[in-house]
Amino acid sequence: MKNITIIGAGIVGIATASYLRRDGHQVTVVDRGLPGEYCSMGNAGILSPGSCVPIAMPGVLGNVPGYLLDPLGPLRLKWSYFPRALPWLWRFINSTGRAQIEATADALRSLLVQTFDAHLPLANHAGCADLIRQSGYVVVYEDEQSYRGDALAWKLRRDRGVICTELDAAGIETLVQALGRRYPRGLHLPEQGYVANPERLTKTLAAQFQRDGGVILQRDVLDIELGADGPLALLTDAGRLPVETLVLCAGVHSAQFSAKLGDRVPLEAERGYHVMFSDPSLELPMPVASAQHKLFVTPMEMGTRIAGHTEFAGIDAEPDYRRADALVAHMKRLFPQVRNVETTRWMGKRPSLPDSKPVIGRATRYANTFYAFGHGHIGLCGSAPTGRLIADLVAGRQPNIDLAPFRADRF
């Protein structure tokens, strides 16, 4: 059995810690904050085994001016940050070739098809399986044109076995009464689902990990002390912490450490927002997505959450809550009956790579170091499958998917 140290107690770090602990390793998770209080706290909660479509799709560049000019649009770029975001955006645009998106869809599907299969054992063991809802979800379109504009994305899903049933206005109303017949086009994805409280999921798994003998230390990791064969210690705000085997799960902060370890990866903060509505009269049987506006509305145990959008402004910029205002406006368009009982607004930083795939696997130079970061829009779904794959690698078991598309040295 090994002594393993993990940087990061987000959902990826905690799921990885849980799977490694199940194998009997001594596992210590180090985080500057509390488990699940960073990006994993406020996401849309969607568990989507069918989320195999990359964000960079053909024609994406043509949509950008419209998105940026629309005050309610799904994309914002802080212009002073543009020169720093440019190399990432350049790679993003260059990821839109047909062969590349087909390959990315294959890779993402292989990872995410395991979503429920990998999450449920952890949630059952921790006593929080009630949070995992296999409800399906509905995607709506305001017009025929935008529905047809997404034809390739739906083909990519269907080609990989994702069930997507077409809906007309009446079909949408039958599934989600609160939407009425306002939307002419929609799809039902019955095999998808959601987590009714993503923060509680991470915290409950973390508490179970500790009950099982795992250790969580609240420390800021400042640097990694390197020897000839790999990391020797973490240098933290509370002193030197020796390491034998290291797993890097530091979300959007991972690139600074992977660079130190010899793997330069183009990781960017794709910032997104949420607003919680506590109106109890709005009851949704399943999440609702607006594909045009790049957002999800999810029924959670704390209320109804609208979450989404993308903002490029860097890791350190303050939240711009005008993005949350735009989400409120969308909420009222989707559900005009909703009462404006807002509770919280939140901004989180998706750890995103330009080709929409995470980095999962062994560090290029060092046998005692593993990476599990960069999950972008799919970190909640992908966390438990990733944790299980890392546990396989650490144990020397053959992973159940090809990890070559997720290598750190692919850039």
Ligand X SMILES: Cc1cc2nc3c(=O)[nH]c(=O)nc-3n(C[C@H](O)[C@H](O)[C@H](O)COP(=O)(O)OP(=O)(O)OC[C@H]3O[C@@H](n4cnc5c(N)ncnc54)[C@H](O)[C@@H]3O)c2cc1C
Residue 10 CB, shortest distance to ligand X, in Å, is 2
Nearest approach, Cβ of residue 148 and ligand X (Å): 25
Burial 359-394 (b: 16+ CB within 10 A, else e): bbbbbeebebbbbbbbbbbbbbbbbbbbbbbbbbbb
Closest distance to ligand X from the beta carbon of 290 (Å): 13
Q: In the complex with ligand X, which residue's Cβ is closer, 70 or 220?
A: 220
Pick 178 or 224: Cβ nearer ligand X: 224
Q: How far apart are CA 291 and CA 36, in angstroms?
A: 27
Q: Which is nearer to ligand X, 72 or 169 (CB)?
A: 72
Q: Taking the mean position of all CA atoms in its chain, how far away is CA 201?
A: 14
**CB nearer ligand X, residue 228 or residue 316:** 316
Min dist CB 315 to ligand X, Å, is 10
Q: What whole-number distance in Å separates Cα of residue 196 and Cα of residue 235?
A: 36
**Based on CB atoms, which residue is closest to ligand X, 33 or 180?**
33
Min dist CB 174 to ligand X, Å, is 24
Q: How far is the CB of 170 from ligand X (least distance, A)?
A: 27
If one counts every other C-beta atom within 10 angstroms of the C-beta of residue 239, the result is 9
DSSP letter string over 167-193? Answer: E-HHHHHHH-GGGTT--SEEEEETT-E
Measured CA to CA, the distance from residue 8 to residue 247 in angstroms comes to 9
Q: Which amino acid is at 382?
A: G
Question: How many other CB atoms are there within 10 angstroms of residue 176's CB atom?
Answer: 25
Residue whose beta carbon is closest to ligand X? 379
Of 86 and 222, nearer to ligand X (C-beta) is: 222
Q: Do 378 and 51 form a contact (C-beta atoms < 8 A)?
A: yes
Give the residue with the Cβ less far from ligand X, 101 or 384.
384
> Which candidate, 4, 212, 193, places its Cα nearest to that of 115?
193
Rg from Cα positions in the chain: 21
Q: How far is the CB of 406 from ligand X (least distance, A)?
A: 14
Contacts to ligand X by CB under 6 A: 7-13, 30-33, 38-40, 43-46, 220-221, 249-253, 272-274, 296, 307-308, 348, 350-351, 373, 375-381
